[in-house]
Amino acid sequence: MQRLVLVGNGMAGVACIEQVLKLAPSFDITIFGDETHTNYNRILLSSVLAGEKSLDEITLHPLDWYVDKGITLRLGVRIVDVDADAKTVTGDDGSVVEFDKLLLATGSSPVIPPIAHASKTGVFTFRNMGDARALLERAGPGVNAVVIGGGLLGLEAARGLQVQGCAVTVIHLVDTLMERQLDPTGGTYLTRKMERLGMRVLLSRRTTAVLGNGHVQGVELADGEQIDADLVVIAAGIRPNADLGRKAGLIVNRGIVVNDYMETSHPDIFAVGECAEHRNVCYGLVAPLLEQGKVLAATITGNRGPVYEGTVEASKLKIMGVDVFSAGDINEAAENESVRHEDPSLGIYKKIILAGGKLKGIVLVGDASESHRYMDWLRTGADLTAKRKHLLFPDPVEDVGFDVAAMPDSETVCGCLGVSKGAIIEAIHAQGMNTMAQLKQVTRASTGCGSCTNLCEQLLRAVAPRFEEETKSTLCACVPFSYEQLRDIVLSQKLKSVQEVLNIYGNRKGCEVCKPALSYMLDMVWCGEHEEDRSARFINDRVHANIQRDGSFSVVPRIRGGVTSPGELRRIADVAEKYSVRMVKITGSQRIDLLGVKKADLPKIWADLGMPSGQAYTKGVRMVKTCVGTDFCRFGVQDSTSAGIELERRLENLYTPHKTKMGAVGCPRNCAEATVKDIGLIGQEGSWQVVVGGAAGKKVRKADLLITVESTAQALEAAELFFQYYRENANYLERTYDFVERTGIEKVRKDTVYAPEPDRKKLLDRLERSKAIAKDAWLERETPFHPTQFTQIEPMEKVLV
């Protein structure tokens, strides 16, 4: 058996081994890696730092895979020497291993520019899991972070640190961020976007020293300015790890020189990945390395034939909401023409470079949705003369989604993992896949940077026999993400205001659909600790009353459980007279409505009533309708009145995806209609039935049984569990009757009343946190949210008519 030794348990090396195994499963393979983790997706370290993924989610090959393939894995061992004649490698643990064929895939190391004291504690690089872990440990609110280097890696590190709570300054040596991928205009757009995220960006500034006594306290720039820092990340470029090549006596320039068959100057030693130099280029992105790996696998296994001829590099910045894409040659040489489109207020800049009617380079900032189209033109060298008029603007029909049907089978869909359209279709047919999860698992497509997810989904939708949607429809055109995605974004990116979400992820404008939905989401995600923006609320929620057809408002005070008193009724009567309320009406929800009130009178009426808001104007907790129960009714077997009042007390003042109406009845005669409420408690002899998802409005639906419990305390807790679950998981404007039906009552039960104790506790804890902050909205009568919240503005001068 031929012994194949791989040095470097990273992305390029292991990908190549995968190909080798496909072609010739008979090698005796040993892999050395100086990192202690099995092969993982290095690209996603940025997402880990930005809180979008956890460290254990980015594993590419778990230990089982190595075992399965019969590979000897030596982790935590660094190869320090290669003897090309004796054909051995030596590890830093002293072990010497013989090989018949050696594959060097040692990647790169971060470049540390000449900065004084760059080795102080608190100075980091960003290359591997250890770095990511260390950064996550240090980063947090109140920490000043400085990132030296405004390239792809530096910016992703900077954003990650910011998401972790740090105040971040990026210091860049040249005058354009990502100058290798962007022209100065594109750089300016990007700078603006980064600044809008709250980052400080210093351009054309050279860092000369790290300051601090032992631990870093700041950095000093060439002009003498000092910047405070508790943490410094150096992301100033990478250098191929070519040392072992030198030790083996191979030809090495910047990297280990390889030819088009990926052979080095030694017949049994090969190199792949960032440590290799092909036609004078050392690549720093995954796509080319995988292409190299395929060619090399053929060469190593004795199928020498396929050649590697270089790759058009395409880079994408992985910062949510900051679309930057660049590919090809972006220099505006004399023989090139450039076509651009700019929209400063939308922050969109697109430029493509043409030469002889063919596409040479692409720069996209602010909108990279069309990158696939351009990449196709770039790769195929298509003649674009006929398309000249709408190069940057596809026909509206095509705009809806890239036309997958028009793509040739050979076209690459997933650039990171090199999966073609044909391969995906074949896999869908062969394996009968229907979901994105299956597609990812089988083809690995879209598991790299994720930018081709939409494309994969469209393919799946077009080809799969029973395509199953995973993400639901987008919230609205202003912020084109699903509710789930938005919730994740809000949480992971720590966004606390509606305008922030719109600025970063949307069209900066918003509308009457998305603004209230986002307002609700922020309130729910942050348990009330969001930045309340009343301009994003419907008028009802700005003045806590229901707007009527004539512009006046209605007032429904809270009358818990429908139980009132003579004194309260008298006060209501007085108020109605004092403010000449047009109508006093008993509502369908066991309460009293004062209709036709002027906005300016609202605070006064509330004060005179001295009752809390009944939230009759909002998507929130309406009422708990109750019946007279055990206290009076001869059939009552449970104290529904007290239970209902208690439930209302516990949940009142909270907001929900849609209005939440409840009922509690003392026996199955159901006089307060609990079986058609969002949440109902139905008393029985010795127990309560807790039911959810009932309706008797636009739709009539009998509620589903959530659980039957013995005590009132248990019934209330079950109601609370469901209530919080609905708050967190329903789409905005989705009533419980739709939510329960969509989710399925079994799943609802599993996630609430039957959930493991810790999960139940978490739901209840979050409810409690929200409740602790929730206030009676009508208290704004004393401390208005804004001084002119309820007022008609009086002009300073009279107008003569």
Partner 1 sequence: MTRENNWIRITKAENFPLREGRPVSLGGVEIAIFNLGDRFAAIENKCPHQGGPLCDGIVAGTAVVCPLHGWRFDLDTGAATRASLPVCVTIFPTRVEDGIVQVNVNGGSRIEMEDAA
Ligand X SMILES: Cc1cc2nc3c(=O)[nH]c(=O)nc-3n(C[C@H](O)[C@H](O)[C@H](O)COP(=O)(O)OP(=O)(O)OC[C@H]3O[C@@H](n4cnc5c(N)ncnc54)[C@H](O)[C@@H]3O)c2cc1C
Member of 4, 18, 29, 33 binding ligand X (CB under 6 A): 33
**Which among 731, 733, 665, 732 has a CA at the least distance from the CA of 703?**
665
Sketch the per residue contact string, 506 through 545, with partner 1: x for CB under 8 A, - otherwise.
Answer: -xxxxxx--xx----------------xxxxxxx--x---
Member of 554, 638, 656, 724 binding ligand SRM (CB under 6 A): 554
78 binds, among partner 1, ligand X, ligand SRM, none (CB under 5 to 8 A by kind): ligand X
799 binds, among ligand SRM, ligand X, partner 1, none (CB under 5 to 8 A by kind): partner 1
* Spatial strand order in the sheet of 324-328: 314-316, 324-328, 358-365, 348-355, 337-343
- Give 791's contacts (C-beta < 8 A, 6+ positions apart): 600
Regarding 585 and contact with ligand SRM (CB under 6 A), the answer is yes
Q: Which span (41-49, 169-177, 433-441, 685-693) binds ligand X, by CB under 6 A?
A: 41-49
We find the least distance from the C-beta atom of residue 346 to partner 1, in angstroms, to be 11
Sketch the per residue contact string, 438 through 477, with partner 1: x for CB under 8 A, - otherwise.
Answer: ----------------------------------------
Regarding 619 and contact with partner 1 (CB under 8 A), the answer is no
Q: Which span (26-34, 487-495, 590-598, 731-739) binds ligand X, by CB under 6 A?
A: 26-34
Scan for tokens 């729910």, then name that residue: 524
3-state DSSP assignment of residue 217:
coil
Residues 771-800, interacting with partner 1 (CB under 8 A): 786-788, 791-800
Residues 755-774, interacting with ligand X (CB under 6 A): none
Q: Which span (30-38, 491-499, 551-559, 678-686) binds ligand X, by CB under 6 A?
A: 30-38
**Which among 703, 672, 701, 700 has a CA at the least distance from the CA of 689?**
703
Please give the C-alpha separations between residue 180 and each of 152, 241, 244, in angstroms, as whole numbers: 9, 21, 29
Tell me whether residue 580 is exposed, middle or buried, using C-beta atoms within 10 angstroms of its C-beta: 0 to 12, 13 to 18, 19 or more.
exposed
Q: Which span (5-13, 364-372, 726-734, 742-750) binds ligand X, by CB under 6 A?
A: 5-13
Tell me the three-class secondary structure of 431-466, residue by residue: HCCCCHHHHHHHHCCCCCCCCCHHHHHHHHHHHCCC
| DSSP β-bridge partners for residue 342 | 349
Regarding 551 and contact with partner 1 (CB under 8 A), the answer is yes
CA distance 799 to 801: 6
Closer by beta carbon to ligand SRM, 516 or else 614: 614
Sketch the per residue contact string, 732 through 751, with ligand SRM: x for CB under 6 A, - otherwise.
Answer: ---x----------------
Q: Which span (93-101, 148-156, 208-216, 695-703) binds ligand SRM, by CB under 6 A?
A: 695-703
516 binds, among ligand SRM, ligand X, partner 1, none (CB under 5 to 8 A by kind): partner 1
For 696, phi then psi, to 5°, come to -150, 55
3-state DSSP assignment of residue 30:
strand
Member of 546, 641, 675, 731 binding ligand SRM (CB under 6 A): 546
Closer by beta carbon to ligand SRM, 613 or else 724: 613
Tell me the three-class secondary structure of 235-278, residue by residue: CCCEEECCHHHHHCCCCECCCEEECCCCECCCCCEEECHHHEEE
271 binds, among ligand SRM, ligand X, partner 1, none (CB under 5 to 8 A by kind): none
Q: b/e map of 228-264 (b: 16 or more CB within 10 Å)? A: ebbbbbbbbbbebbbbbbebbebebeebbbbeebbbb
Regarding 589 and contact with ligand SRM (CB under 6 A), the answer is yes
775 binds, among ligand SRM, partner 1, ligand X, none (CB under 5 to 8 A by kind): none
We find the least distance from the C-beta atom of residue 233 to ligand X, in angstroms, to be 11
For 366, phi then psi, to 5°, come to 95, -25
Q: Which span (168-176, 187-195, 280-288, 562-570) binds ligand X, by CB under 6 A?
A: 280-288
Q: Is the dihedral of CA 659, 664, 668, 673 positive or negative?
A: negative
Residues 9-68, interacting with partner 1 (CB under 8 A): none
Closer by beta carbon to ligand X, 11 or else 199: 11
- Reading phi first (left if > 0) and then psi (alpha if -120 to 50, else beta), residue 284 is in alpha
CB pairs under 8 A, 24+ apart, for 299-306? 299/261, 299/262, 299/263, 299/270, 300/4, 300/16, 300/20, 300/101, 300/103, 300/270, 301/20, 301/23, 301/24, 302/24, 303/23, 304/261, 306/261
- Reading phi first (left if > 0) and then psi (alpha if -120 to 50, else beta), residue 658 is in beta
Regarding 456 and contact with ligand X (CB under 6 A), the answer is no
Regarding 408 and contact with ligand SRM (CB under 6 A), the answer is no
CA distance 444 to 240: 27
Member of 285, 439, 524, 605 binding ligand X (CB under 6 A): 285
Q: Which span (114-122, 188-196, 522-530, 689-697) binds ligand SRM, by CB under 6 A?
A: 689-697
| Under 8 Å between Cβ of 473 and 721 | no
We find the least distance from the C-beta atom of residue 533 to partner 1, in angstroms, to be 8
We find the least distance from the C-beta atom of residue 545 to ligand SRM, in angstroms, to be 9
Regarding 184 and contact with ligand SRM (CB under 6 A), the answer is no
Residues 479-498, interacting with partner 1 (CB under 8 A): none
Q: b/e map of 455-483 (b: 16 or more CB within 10 Å)? A: bbbbbbeebbeebeeeeeeebbebbbbbb
Residues 122-141, interacting with ligand X (CB under 6 A): 126-127
- Give 672's contacts (C-beta < 8 A, 6+ positions apart): 562, 590, 625, 626, 627, 640, 644, 663, 664, 665
Closer by beta carbon to partner 1, 225 or else 512: 512
Q: What is the contact surface with ligand SRM in residues (CB under 6 A)?
A: 546, 548, 554, 556, 585, 587-589, 591, 593, 614, 616, 622-623, 661, 695-699, 735
Q: What is the contact surface with ligand X in residues (CB under 6 A)?
A: 7-13, 32-35, 42-43, 45-46, 78-79, 105-107, 126-127, 153, 241, 244, 273-274, 284-287, 289, 318, 416, 449
Q: What is the contact surface with partner 1 in residues (CB under 8 A)?
A: 478, 507-512, 515-516, 533-539, 542, 547, 549-551, 786-788, 791-801
